[in-house]
Amino acid sequence: MPQDIFDEISNAFERGGTAQAIQSLINILKQSGDFHRLFEARTMQARHALGLPLLSHASSSDLPTHVRTQLEDQMIAACREVGEALLESGDIAAGYQYLQMIGELDLVRTALETTSPEEQDVPSFVEIALSRGVHPVRGIDLILKHYGLCQAISACESLLAQGTPITTRDQAIRRLVRAVHEELVHRLQSEIEQREGSAPTSSDVESLLKGRDWLFEEDNYHIDTSHLNAIVRMARLLGPGPEIEHAVALCTYGNQLSSKYRYPDPAPFEDVYSDSRRFFLILSGEDAEDGLRFFKEQAERLDPSEVGTYPSEVYLHLLRETGRWQDAIDYIEKRLSDLPSNLTSAINSLCEVSRNFDAMSRFARERHDPISFLASLASRESIAE
């Protein structure tokens, strides 16, 4: 800030009074990058224009409605101006503080995505991106890069527990699936090079494992087995996509681990890597009929009162993600009396994606569910229009 700022303000005041002095101060603060004081100066400018004291600690609620509205509009504009200026200067944490007050976070989201933080700024970037929910996927990326896979997995599990929107959740999981697959391929290639003297050119896990049982001698493993189990479990939330091929590869690897590292999951994934591989192959379009038959048998064999609804949810998820909507509706009609009420959302979702609102109405009547029934009528009406 220039040393003669007070002279400049005084000269401006003599030339044009308070309004010109405030504008002079605003110009100086902009040029010097003193954006926090710029916000205060903009506030003073707004108050002066409205005939209010420049400095006041009184509540704005005491002002007449029309005055309060104008002042609030000017304050919003000031927050926007200062927040954007701080983002442009690279101070994302400070810019966020202003823009979050007015609920305008798109620019913060863009800044997080396009800016590579200095090491000392990483914690604040992660805090805003992940903890504040501005850009969770970017937060996961930063944790992966700066803190490693273990913390990234923990962060993603926290996102899942918070009920993160499905699109964001899936993006984060896909990032982790790719990262774990890349790490596994790299470590397998390195060990093979050490043993055989030359690095394999293939990055296909099945090819890297073929004929190399020695990779697993003496209960050997190449990536943290708890990480592997967590990623496979999270990947089962996904629908079809390139990461499903990576998930198949991770399960192919997991199947060859010592039994002490193959931690069982709840039914229908007791043989965690074998059953999960079958699941992922269905989503990738391989062995779909046999795989679906297996999961249907598991859902019908297991008593929901003992194991919960998860086996049925898994089967319905697979039917939906592979576009077998009528099969899903037929299954629901057959099993409706056995399916607990907490599957209502999944059932309605299937009816909506298949646009079968007649079935949705029938299910709602049978389950004495007036909310879903009304939703089916409204949805059917919207199609007719």
pLDDT band at 382 (very low <50, low <70, confident <90, very high): confident
Q: Would you tell me how many other CB atoms lie within 10 Å of the CB of residue 284?
A: 16
In the chain, the number of structural domains is 3
How far is 80 from 104, CA to CA, in rounded Å? 8
Q: What is the dihedral of CA 17, 22, 23, 25, to 10 degrees?
A: 120
Q: What pLDDT, in 10s, does the model give residues 310-339?
A: 898 899 889 989 999 999 998 888 877 677
Q: What pLDDT, in 10s, does the model give residues 165-189?
A: 889 999 999 999 999 999 999 999 9
Q: What pLDDT, in 10s, does the model give residues 2-24?
A: 668 888 889 988 898 899 998 99
What pLDDT does residue 15 have? 92
- The answer on pLDDT for 162 being more than 70 is yes
Peptide bond into 53 cis (omega under 30): no
For residues 15 and 77, membership in a common domain is answered with yes
Share of the chain above pLDDT 90, in %: 61
For residues 315 and 259, membership in a common domain is answered with no
What pLDDT does residue 142 have? 96
For residues 132 and 231, membership in a common domain is answered with yes
- Domain's final residue, options 261, 286, 311: 286
> Can you give the residue range of the structural domain that contains 180?
117-186+224-286
| Sign of the CA dihedral running 58, 63, 67, 73 | positive
Q: What is the pTM of this model?
A: 0.82
Residue 192 lies in a domain: no
For residues 281 and 351, membership in a common domain is answered with no
For residues 166 and 146, membership in a common domain is answered with yes
For residues 13 and 105, membership in a common domain is answered with yes
- The answer on pLDDT for 209 being more than 90 is yes
Q: Would you tell me how many other CB atoms lie within 10 Å of the CB of residue 180?
A: 25
CA 355 to chain centre: 28
218-246 residues labelled b (16+ CB within 10 A) or e (exposed): eeebbbebebbbbbbbbbbebeeeebbbb
- Longest Cα–Cα distance of the chain, Å, equals 89
- Domain's final residue, options 78, 98, 115: 115
How far is 112 from 105, CA to CA, in rounded Å? 10
Q: What is the DSSP letter of 270?
A: S
**Which residues make Cβ contacts (< 8 Å) with residue 173, sequence separation at least 6?**
156, 234, 235, 237, 238, 243
Measured CA to CA in angstroms, residue 130 lies from 99, 122, 136 at distances of 17, 12, 4
For residues 233 and 141, membership in a common domain is answered with yes
pLDDT band at 385 (very low <50, low <70, confident <90, very high): low
Question: Which tokens belong to 143?
Answer: 């944790």
For residues 147 and 261, membership in a common domain is answered with yes
Amino acid type, 257: L
What pLDDT does residue 240 have? 92
For residues 127 and 99, membership in a common domain is answered with no
How far is 164 from 100, CA to CA, in rounded Å? 19
- Domain's final residue, options 263, 286, 309: 286
